[in-house]
Chain A
Amino acid sequence: MATANDKQRSILASLDWLTIVIYIALLGLGWMSVCGATYDFGQAGNFFDLDTRSGMQIMWIGTSFVLAALLLSIDERFYDVFAYVLYAGFMLLLLATPFLAHDIKGSMSWIKIGKFSLQPAEFAKFATALCVAKYMGRNDYSIAKWWKFLLTCFLIMLPMGLIIMQKETGSALVYMAFFLMLYREGMPGSVLFAGVSAVVYFVVGVRFSEDPLWHLHIISLGQFLVLLLTMLFTIGLMRVYTDRWAPILRVAGYGLGLTLAALLFSKFVIPFDITWVQLALCLGMIAYLFMLAVKHHSSRYTLIAIFAIGSLMLHYSADFALNHVLQPHQQTRIRVLLGTEDDPRGVGYNVIQAKIAIGSGGLRGKGFLNGTQTKLKYVPEQETDFIFCTVGEEEGFLGCAVVLLLFLALILRLIQLAERQPYASGRIYGYCVMSIFLFHVFINVGMVLGLTPVIGIPLPFFSYGGSSLWGFTLLLFIFLRMDAARNHFVHS
């Protein structure tokens, strides 16, 4: 039995210092960006003054280091023992938040404690990750058992729902990242494929709904493409999941052949809306798949048929969902992103200004504190959600590349660490952490570059704010503590 001191020493020895170096590097660059984003031309630059955001951020960084040290000294078994309790506690806190919170720009997610405001949603992530890891790490857990899978989904969706109730859709969407972890843990790839397909249908359908096909103004290009994709995806699924060639060729031949024939007839003989032909062909294809299912006693054909039905339903409900379910500002954001609406003074303003700020940086940037767009407040929320603009403008392409590659290094390193965990729960928690970082970087940087919708979530270690910085530090250092104890687990 080792003494506490010995153990502490072995923890420090087996701690992954590479991750910590990346963490500190990102924090340093992040702090520079906050300085750049909040500095005003002509101001006497004291970046350590606690009345400025850069000074406050120094304080948040300092407390994060204390927090990190604290986390490293807590026994890893603590998290396993208290995972459910923590989860339950945070769910109650999330539930109570809207009642305790005061309204900040329509969001009910901030609780005021003394001088500071904290956002419980940022801390619920680690609790959810711990809980899911513990549940899925049980020996009797199997993702293939549908009720267990559903319970896992429930554990993830519960905080999502509670956060949506605080009108923080962006923070809620982060929980979608857990599906990456589920994929690693054996969730069928087809679920991920179905999810991606749904996004593709939605984007293609909305983006091209007003465009004509081949100058035929009675046919919507969006509708044509979605129906064509439905057919192609279905054929692809048949190719992957079944091994009879004849039905595949039959569906491909009749389906695509008749679509082409209808298109040519409409173009050169009598113009008519060929999407009705496509719909009929898809329904025929679905009927044929059910017939095959019965004939060969194979549930695979049934599942593929359900995919096709789901595709059609999603397509025909997408417009309805866009126009009636989503809130107007969300509709506009989506339309602006997809390019069907131009709104340079409104929603599009943020994205345009962000692109201008980044684009004006060039290769080497304008230099620390020399960015004009960020200093003169052209970029909105430049020290929080749009912080990456400051990096782009002041540090240029090279600075952006360094930051993105640091994040990539962090994420790849986390995958490596997760994979070396002796227990499933450690691995699962590691993947949760990695997925959350990946999702934040993907959405936040993508939004600033005009590639993903404007969803207000912070860029880890860069965006100003204590809650998110503490939240990310918690996520990361709990995992580093688990990782440091990997050998200890094996021996005990």
Chain B
Amino acid sequence: MYSNRKYVLGFIATGIVLVYLVRLFTLQLMSDDFKRNADSNAFLKRIQYPARGAMRDRTGKLLVYNQPAYDIMVVMSEMNDVDTLDLCESLGITREIFDQRMEEIKDRNRNPGYSSYTQQLFMNQLSAEEFSTFQEKLFRFPGFYIQKRSIRQYAYPNAAHILGDVGEVSPADIEADDYYQSGDYIGKLGVERSYEKQLRGEKGVEILLRDARGRIKGNYQNGKFDRAPIPGKNLTLSIDLELQQLGERLMQGKLGSIVAIEPSTGEVLCMVSSPTYDPRIMVGRQRGKNNRILTNDPMKPLLNRAIMGTYPPGSTFKTSQALTFLEEGIITPQTSYPCSGGFRFGRLKVGCHGHASPIPLIPTIATSCNGYFCWGLYYMLGNRKKYATVQEAMTTWKDYMVSMGFGYPLGIDLPGEKRGLIPNADFYDKHLGKSWSALSIISIAIGQGEVTLTPLQIANLGATIANRGYYITPHVVKEVQGEEIDTLYKTRHYTKVSRQNYETVVAGMRQAVVGGTCRSANNEWYEVCGKTGTAQNRGHDHSVFMGFAPRENPQIAVAVYVENGGWGATYGVPFGALIMEKFINGKLSEASEAKAEAFANRTINYGNSER
């Protein structure tokens, strides 16, 4: 009776076991989620942060270093019976801030790595004093931990644009490089950003076993998988702090830039961008607030004008024209062009100031004659024997410019460098139609019109002339601890112009100092070569200077660009001279010091015009 039902029961038992085997199969073999969950349960990965590399200037002065600071971390799942009011009081925050912070931590959009089992950053960068009061009470707040970190410190209020700063990583940074976790720091600007990989070092990790109550039960497999942190590398900058300080002092109350380069190495000796700011305000918990204030400032103090400002180079550009015309055989050093108060062609007129006429190239450079270079460009672009079309001539011209480092970013080791503008044939074909000639674009010959350069490119032009025909890509980091610097910063880039033609231009620039536009730069210690620029623009002229010294074995090339400063001789020449003197002599003479102080106190009124 009913004995067939034994099969039903056997079938039920077999069915249950089969269902369970399938379930086990899916749990254990189909997905890694549980494995990962188990690891995040049991393994507490305690990150050990390496010390970020320090920075020194070229003379060995410590510019950037680390100071201990303390982050407060929280593990949500362990936060039982915490007296919130007591906690807020100990940390000096309000209940609202506490609640808001908790919400932010749990928001997976803003904090993608959130887990209630791992440490999350609650508050960062407590100072030693704030920390010590909190530490006494720490035992009362289960789930809260202290993480020792280091905070960046800047020893001087200078060189903010070069040094840059560090800030908390953004979600985009985390996305781009999985080295970073929420709450980590990353270089945001300047060298801090461009040398992030060298400065940050490598995080270490200690894998600890943690039981269900959050108690640590020792290292996993006795530390077999632990890694010690590797400290970041120290950098030596090519910057001379004192030179930088002088430059910043001179540029107070003015907009613009001073860049100095050591021609033989391409090392940037100073790079001033004005207005500047104190890098020490971009540290710690006020960073966000101060960053906002600086971002909204209409004078744009965060903009590094030395590499991001693109300006008409004005007459400093004439040196590059003279080199091009000489090399192409359009002119010889003896060639003279008439200039009767400027360049006249039909109704077209480019004005000039009074000087003897006609004169050959060297005195032309010394007096900065506009007419000469307009004729030069006119004859070059109009030379149908040498160039089949005006476009071909233009392309040749452009190739010379590019070989001198114009029109493209030079490749300095700072983020955000601009390329400036060197127009080519296509550019004019597009804007002027096919039938354009030298006359349509004549003002580029004198560094006006469409041409723009960054102050760094102008300084690099000075370095190239000082080197008589080559430059080494400018850079601000001289040495990386235990590492060779990029070969880019050791390679000579030769221009298309030969050494002998450079000598002619050098002679012209020397003449400008001895008896031309740069007379005030002349001194008894060494031979200065220079070229002024007075760049026209919508407002008052920009005051520009480009030069180097000494004439033989040059030690420094300088570019000065003072927005709306008027004649090149007004600000450009004296600033350039002071920078050279400071660097070559190691100090300023008494008279020069007085002059520097007088200039430091002069301000240019920019009104509220748009920058």
CB within 8 Å of B: which residues of A? 40-42, 180, 183-186, 345, 353, 355-363, 372-373, 375-378, 392-393, 396-397, 400-401, 404-405, 407-408, 411-412, 415, 418-419, 431, 434, 438, 441-442, 445-446, 449, 451
A376-B41, A378-B41 known; A359 and B27 CB under 8 Å? yes
| A183–B9 CB distance below 8 A | yes
| B209–A449 CB distance below 8 A | no
Q: In the A-B complex, list the 4 residue pairs whose CB atoms are closest, starting with the nearest.
A: A359-B34, A360-B38, A372-B42, A376-B211
Confirm or deny: B25 has a beta carbon within 8 angstroms of a beta carbon on chain A.
Answer: yes
A355 contacts which of B5, B27, B43, B218 (Cβ < 8 Å)? B27
| B1–A186 CB distance below 8 A | yes
User: CA of A405 to CA of B16 in the docked complex: distance in angstroms?
Assistant: 11
User: CA of A362 to CA of B39 in the docked complex: distance in angstroms?
Assistant: 13
- Supply 18 A–B pairs (Cβ within 8 Å), ascending by A: A42-B218, A183-B8, A356-B37, A356-B41, A359-B31, A359-B34, A362-B28, A363-B29, A376-B209, A376-B210, A392-B24, A393-B38, A400-B28, A418-B6, A419-B6, A438-B12, A445-B20, A449-B24
Confirm or deny: B212 has a beta carbon within 8 angstroms of a beta carbon on chain A.
Answer: yes
Nearest opposing residue in chain B for A352, CB measure: B37
CB distance from A26 to the nearest CB of B (A): 14
When distances are taken between beta carbons in the complex, the residues of chain A under 8 Å from B34 are 355-356, 358-360
When distances are taken between beta carbons in the complex, the residues of chain A under 8 Å from B591 are none
User: CA of A41 to CA of B218 in the docked complex: distance in angstroms?
Assistant: 9
CB distance from A170 to the nearest CB of B (A): 18
A441 contacts which of B3, B8, B16, B43 (Cβ < 8 Å)? B16
CB distance from A413 to the nearest CB of B (A): 10
- The main secondary structure of chain B at its interface with chain A is helix
CB distance from B591 to the nearest CB of A (A): 77
Confirm or deny: B35 has a beta carbon within 8 angstroms of a beta carbon on chain A.
Answer: yes
Nearest opposing residue in chain B for A445, CB measure: B20
| B35–A359 CB distance below 8 A | yes
Nearest opposing residue in chain B for A400, CB measure: B24
Nearest opposing residue in chain B for A404, CB measure: B17
Confirm or deny: B33 has a beta carbon within 8 angstroms of a beta carbon on chain A.
Answer: yes
| B17–A408 CB distance below 8 A | yes
User: CA of A446 to CA of B18 in the docked complex: distance in angstroms?
Assistant: 12
Confirm or deny: B176 has a beta carbon within 8 angstroms of a beta carbon on chain A.
Answer: no
User: CA of A114 to CA of B421 in the docked complex: distance in angstroms?
Assistant: 97
User: CA of A360 to CA of B9 in the docked complex: distance in angstroms?
Assistant: 33
Confirm or deny: B213 has a beta carbon within 8 angstroms of a beta carbon on chain A.
Answer: yes
Confirm or deny: B172 has a beta carbon within 8 angstroms of a beta carbon on chain A.
Answer: no
CB distance from B260 to the nearest CB of A (A): 61
When distances are taken between beta carbons in the complex, the residues of chain A under 8 Å from B598 are none
A397 contacts which of B9, B29, B211 (Cβ < 8 Å)? B29
When distances are taken between beta carbons in the complex, the residues of chain B under 8 Å from A41 are 209, 217-218
Of A40, A186, A358, chain B has the most CB atoms within 10 Å of the CB of A358
CB distance from B8 to the nearest CB of A (A): 8
Nearest opposing residue in chain A for B218, CB measure: A42
B28 contacts which of A363, A411, A415, A446 (Cβ < 8 Å)? A363
When distances are taken between beta carbons in the complex, the residues of chain A under 8 Å from B29 are 362-363, 397
When distances are taken between beta carbons in the complex, the residues of chain A under 8 Å from B6 are 184, 415, 418-419
Known contacts A41-B209, A412-B14; 16 additional CB pairs below 8 A are: A183-B9, A356-B38, A358-B24, A360-B38, A360-B39, A362-B29, A372-B38, A372-B41, A373-B42, A376-B42, A397-B28, A404-B17, A411-B10, A415-B13, A438-B16, A451-B20
CB distance from A72 to the nearest CB of B (A): 26
Confirm or deny: B2 has a beta carbon within 8 angstroms of a beta carbon on chain A.
Answer: yes
When distances are taken between beta carbons in the complex, the residues of chain A under 8 Å from B16 are 438, 441-442, 446
Confirm or deny: B23 has a beta carbon within 8 angstroms of a beta carbon on chain A.
Answer: yes
User: CA of A360 to CA of B13 in the docked complex: distance in angstroms?
Assistant: 27
When distances are taken between beta carbons in the complex, the residues of chain A under 8 Å from B213 are 377
| B20–A446 CB distance below 8 A | yes
User: CA of A95 to CA of B77 in the docked complex: distance in angstroms?
Assistant: 43
User: CA of A375 to CA of B2 in the docked complex: distance in angstroms?
Assistant: 49
Of B10, B213, B218, chain A has the most CB atoms within 10 Å of the CB of B10
User: CA of A442 to CA of B25 in the docked complex: distance in angstroms?
Assistant: 17
| B209–A404 CB distance below 8 A | no
When distances are taken between beta carbons in the complex, the residues of chain B under 8 Å from A412 are 10, 13-14
When distances are taken between beta carbons in the complex, the residues of chain B under 8 Å from A372 are 38-39, 41-43, 209
Give the total number of A-B pairs whose CB atoms are below 8 A apart: 126
Confirm or deny: B488 has a beta carbon within 8 angstroms of a beta carbon on chain A.
Answer: no
When distances are taken between beta carbons in the complex, the residues of chain B under 8 Å from A449 are 20, 23-24, 27
| B13–A411 CB distance below 8 A | yes
Number of residues of chain B lying within 8 A (CB) of chain A: 40
Confirm or deny: B102 has a beta carbon within 8 angstroms of a beta carbon on chain A.
Answer: no
CB distance from A158 to the nearest CB of B (A): 24
When distances are taken between beta carbons in the complex, the residues of chain B under 8 Å from A375 are 211
Q: Mark B300-339, 1 if CB is under 8 A from A, else 0.
A: 0000000000000000000000000000000000000000
| B2–A361 CB distance below 8 A | no
CB distance from B164 to the nearest CB of A (A): 43
CB distance from B44 to the nearest CB of A (A): 10
User: CA of A446 to CA of B23 in the docked complex: distance in angstroms?
Assistant: 9
Nearest opposing residue in chain B for A451, CB measure: B23
Confirm or deny: B350 has a beta carbon within 8 angstroms of a beta carbon on chain A.
Answer: no
When distances are taken between beta carbons in the complex, the residues of chain B under 8 Å from A431 are 9
A184-B6, A360-B35 known; A377 and B24 CB under 8 Å? no
CB distance from A416 to the nearest CB of B (A): 8
When distances are taken between beta carbons in the complex, the residues of chain A under 8 Å from B93 are none
User: CA of A415 to CA of B29 in the docked complex: distance in angstroms?
Assistant: 32
| A359–B10 CB distance below 8 A | no
A392 contacts which of B14, B17, B28, B43 (Cβ < 8 Å)? B28
Confirm or deny: B21 has a beta carbon within 8 angstroms of a beta carbon on chain A.
Answer: yes
User: CA of A72 to CA of B500 in the docked complex: distance in angstroms?
Assistant: 117
User: CA of A360 to CA of B10 in the docked complex: distance in angstroms?
Assistant: 31
Nearest opposing residue in chain A for B33, CB measure: A359
B38 contacts which of A359, A408, A415 (Cβ < 8 Å)? A359
CB distance from B106 to the nearest CB of A (A): 14
When distances are taken between beta carbons in the complex, the residues of chain A under 8 Å from B210 are 376
| B2–A186 CB distance below 8 A | yes
User: CA of A449 to CA of B24 in the docked complex: distance in angstroms?
Assistant: 7
CB distance from B85 to the nearest CB of A (A): 24
Nearest opposing residue in chain B for A363, CB measure: B29
Nearest opposing residue in chain B for A358, CB measure: B27
Nearest opposing residue in chain A for B4, CB measure: A184
CB distance from A312 to the nearest CB of B (A): 28
| A361–B28 CB distance below 8 A | yes
CB distance from A370 to the nearest CB of B (A): 10
User: CA of A63 to CA of B42 in the docked complex: distance in angstroms?
Assistant: 37
Nearest opposing residue in chain A for B24, CB measure: A400
Of B1, B2, B5, B16, chain A has the most CB atoms within 10 Å of the CB of B16
| A42–B217 CB distance below 8 A | yes
User: CA of A294 to CA of B34 in the docked complex: distance in angstroms?
Assistant: 60
Nearest opposing residue in chain A for B37, CB measure: A356
When distances are taken between beta carbons in the complex, the residues of chain A under 8 Å from B37 are 356, 359-360
| A407–B28 CB distance below 8 A | no
Q: Mark B492-517, 1 if CB is under 8 A from A, else 0.
A: 00000000000000000000000000
User: CA of A60 to CA of B20 in the docked complex: distance in angstroms?
Assistant: 29
User: CA of A377 to CA of B8 in the docked complex: distance in angstroms?
Assistant: 40
A401 contacts which of B9, B24, B39, B209 (Cβ < 8 Å)? B24
User: CA of A372 to CA of B12 in the docked complex: distance in angstroms?
Assistant: 35
CB distance from A179 to the nearest CB of B (A): 11
Nearest opposing residue in chain A for B23, CB measure: A449
